Chain A
Amino acid sequence: MSTTDANLIFERSRAGRSAVAQAPRDHAATRIPANLQRKSAPGLPAASELDVVRHYTRLSQKNFSIDTEFYPLGSCTMKYNPRACNSLAMLPGFLNRHPHAPASHSQGFLQTMFELQEMLKEVTGMKAVSLAPMAGAQGEYTGVAMIRAYHDARGDTERREIIVPDAAHGTNPATAIMCGYEVREIPTDETGDVDIEALKAAVGPQTAGIMLTNPSTVGVFERRISEIAKIVHDAGGLLYYDGANLNAILGKVRPGDMGFDVIHMNLHKTFSTPHGGGGPGSGAVGVSERLLPFMPIPHVIEAEQGGYRLAEESDRPQSIGRLSAFGGNAGVLLRAYVYMRMLGREGMVRVSEFSTLNANYLARELAAAGFDLAYPKRRATHEFIVTMKKQAKERGLTAGDVAKRLLDHGYHAPTTYFPLLVPECLLVEPTETESKETLDGFVEAMACILAESENDMETIKSAPHNLPNRRFNEVAAAKALDVVFQPVDEGDDNAPRTGTHG
């Protein structure tokens, strides 16, 4: 790899160079008052179109992605993102539509969104679905804010606690706090289910609700969910469903039938919209009957005179309000719609069936290769946990080491050190779109690392070796913070090192 690969776009810049074809014709100077004008140029890159295209194409090649590698990142559902979903969401008619276009110029889009709401209602068993939340965490916020609005509207204002299992995603407790609640954590029992006795002890008149993921983050189905629902409902609380793991149960069991009052779905997981290097997501929310009045706006509804329109404040006076300036990540929603229509009702069920088949097969093969499953007596759902506790103790082979060495074998690592309650864990989610050969190849790589650990821990400890970079010193990076490029200023010893400065 040549040294210029490490250069920033700024270091490729040359004063006087620009991608002129991309700019409008020169215009006369403005009459903006002098005291409001910018005095010096911002310092954006000065590069030709080819410079820019080559630079970012090369950068892209330094990424692992689903399109290039197996990416069994547990809890993230890294399945194939069909290309048609992208190209059809990017049709000019969709891209050019302004969010405030009148209803007369919006029926194609609104009908599509209405149908998406209806399909999501069907697969979740909820009474209504809102497409407004822009990500899973915002969907969680929406759900818990609705729980709060529900209690408040009944004058039931003493409920100040949200119960969260210790296996929950970090967003759950963080969301409860943002909604003004206190968090009460309850333990998980040795089989991976919620500790029912602890739950019974935790609920009371102070309970606003519980946030649950089912299948849980430890990769097993919560078998006593009906009992949990009864305990929480009897105490006057509501049940929140974190839909991170919906992929495992699509078409098999629905959150609405399990007794949940409100759920969020991660469309970027279950419905295959792209993860995009960390977003955009989309956290559609489904509600039961009693939360209908509190749903966020806007929301697509059937118009009185036929066709569709957006419900606004006047339609829903008790709404928790707006979550974004314009009503959600429409482009993501279009992709999810195309995906659902291509799969159809039979395809929905295949998602859970084949993701579960792949996970159970992979778990079995890894166990046979000498790895310990965290919950060997349970069925895997769409994901499962391998614990490296034994190997870490015996020879210092940690989950983090396995993750880094896997990269050398051309596999993205599983999720490491989550959930927090299983020591040295690797959370593995193969998804339904991977073939048996890919899974077998992964098992071979894992077995190879295990064998290597018996005679050459050094190579593992210093992995990765085949990537653009070796392991980073993250502690040093957090101490000597460098989050914005500053060109080397001659004579300034404190200036960050930057290689060649253009």
Chain B
Amino acid sequence: MPFIPHTEEDIRAMLDRIGADSVEDLFDEIPADLRSPPLTGIPEGENEMGIARLMQERAALDGMPSNFIGAGAYEHHIPAAVWQIATRGEFYSAYTPYQAEASQGTLQLIYEYQTMISRLTGMEVSNASLYDGASALAEAVLMAVRVNRRSKAKRVLLPGALHPDYRKVVKTLIGNQGIDLVELPFDETTGQTPVDALAPHADEDVTAMVISQPNFFGILEDVDALTGWAEERGIPVIAVVNPVSLALLKPPGEWGTNGVDIVVGEGQPLGAPLSSGGPYFGFMTTLKKHIRQMPGRIVGRAEDADGKPGFVLTLQAREQHIRRSKATSNICTNQGLVVTAATIHMSLLGDEGLTRVAEACYANTHALVEKLAAKGIKPRFTGEYFHEVALDFGGDAATRVQAMADAGVLPGFELGRDYAQLEGCVLACATETKTESDLEQYVTTWEQAKAA
């Protein structure tokens, strides 16, 4: 029997010991009228060889197109060691480190992760991760409302240039909390969120404000000016950032005069494959003074009975398994395995490697824009961008995007899905995985799609 070790003799001996005639007798407390019909809708079992063949066929069916879509999930090279070590059984098949003495591997790794992500974002403390970037933002909004006790309005400013699906997720996850989400318009020329957009809220009771750097269009925001506006009014700021960009960009801990209060983002670019959207992880860092309002697991250094250092889950009194209905969140797990991969990934790259990755992403996207400019395609916005850019494909964009896909190039994310005024624009990203000939292929498939 697959994955079940019992021999006929074992079964007999165990039933005898229990005092039951058959395994079926063990289910005699389930009322007869509730018993399940045969599961005819499930196929018969497959052996490993059979299922391997099927999965290989399915995976091959989706092809291996040259991908220039980013829009929140980015193709990066992942060193071979990352997932080889992350999928060692000792990491892969362990659970949440409730028994600290038997979980020092996972606990120390998370402590190292917390240190790395705090340093990268320029903040003081981190949790052990949340589900993904979007749900981490929803948790950050709830946290900011708890932190800003002075505010009565529960009003949170979200940029229109924030990832549209992040805005939707925030709405889903905090929709029943009576929080007012106010959208800030972006400048349709530069693609930035102008400080002017904040003017109507200058005298309002604002509970928290979100800044995305880069924003969804890849554009760099004037983070100091935006943060400064909030600082003058004592409004907590939540930063949403791409962790790879932070090798080059000013960390949120240094924005404005004193830095932001909470930083969140999608951890996927740090060692998680695209994998159809998950599993990724959301990171969250903050200031020491807010740590008791932070959701999720936190690992702390501790001493054992011999005075030997080690690591434990700490501040558990915030969590659902202790506080139940009074917890900071209902979150139970984090994204442990993906965080394991990310920690190994960051250790292998180091400052130098991550900087080179970020520079290569920047260089490749800018090189692609130059090549396309020569063919008459211009960026939609004038603002400076990091590794992603909105390209104006024109009215027949949808047809051209599909034609390019059919030719083996996914040219980008169609912005018209979420922004009516950006119909015909395609958000493209060329990371460090793209070579000169990949960029050339983009241009030639674009030309062929245009001619077709």
Contact = CB atoms under 8 A, between A and B. Distances in A.
B91 A60 contact: yes
27 contacts: A23-B352, A26-B359, A33-B220, A63-B103, A65-B90, A78-B95, A90-B273, A93-B64, A94-B275, A96-B274, A98-B73, A98-B276, A122-B42, A221-B29, A275-B96, A281-B332, A323-B135, A323-B173, A325-B165, A344-B46, A346-B44, A415-B98, A467-B102, A470-B304, A474-B312, A477-B312, A482-B300
B348 A175 contact: no
B322 interface: yes
Interface string B267-307: 00000011111111100000010010000011111111110
B202 interface: no
A404 to B, nearest CB: 7
B305 A462 contact: yes
Contact of A134 (B87, B101, B132, B288): B132
A431 B234 CA distance: 53
A38 B89 contact: no
A217 to B, nearest CB: 12
Contacts of B42: 119, 122-123, 340, 344-345, 348
B150 interface: no
Contacts of B175: 145, 320-321
Contacts of B176: 145, 148, 178-180
B401 to A, nearest CB: 8
Contacts of A188: none
A477 B250 contact: no
A356 B26 contact: yes
A175 to B, nearest CB: 4
Contact of A64 (B103, B125, B131, B171): B103
- From A73, A79, A99, A328, name the one whose CB has the most chain B CB atoms within 10 angstroms: A99
B248 A32 contact: yes
Contact of A473 (B62, B67, B303): B303
B229 interface: no
B338 A280 contact: yes
A361 B308 CA distance: 40
A281 B331 CA distance: 11
Contact of B6 (A138, A378, A435): A435
B365 to A, nearest CB: 11
Given A42-B251, A59-B104, A69-B102, 4 more contacts: A43-B119, A322-B168, A322-B169, A436-B14
A82 to B, nearest CB: 6
A77 to B, nearest CB: 10
B114 interface: yes
B99 A412 contact: yes
B104 A25 contact: no
Given A63-B103, A483-B300, A102 B92 contact: no
Interface in A33-63: 33, 35-39, 41-47, 49, 52-53, 55-57, 59-63
B336 A322 contact: no
Interface stretch (B53-61, B183-191, B203-211): B53-61
Contacts of B44: 344-346
Interface in A324-383: 324-332, 334, 338, 340-350, 352-354, 356-358, 360-361, 364-365, 378-379
Interface in A198-226: 220-221, 223, 225-226
B135 A183 contact: no
Given A24-B356, A107-B61, A464 B101 contact: yes
- From B105, B109, B178, B249, name the one whose CB has the most chain A CB atoms within 10 angstroms: B105
B2 A347 contact: yes
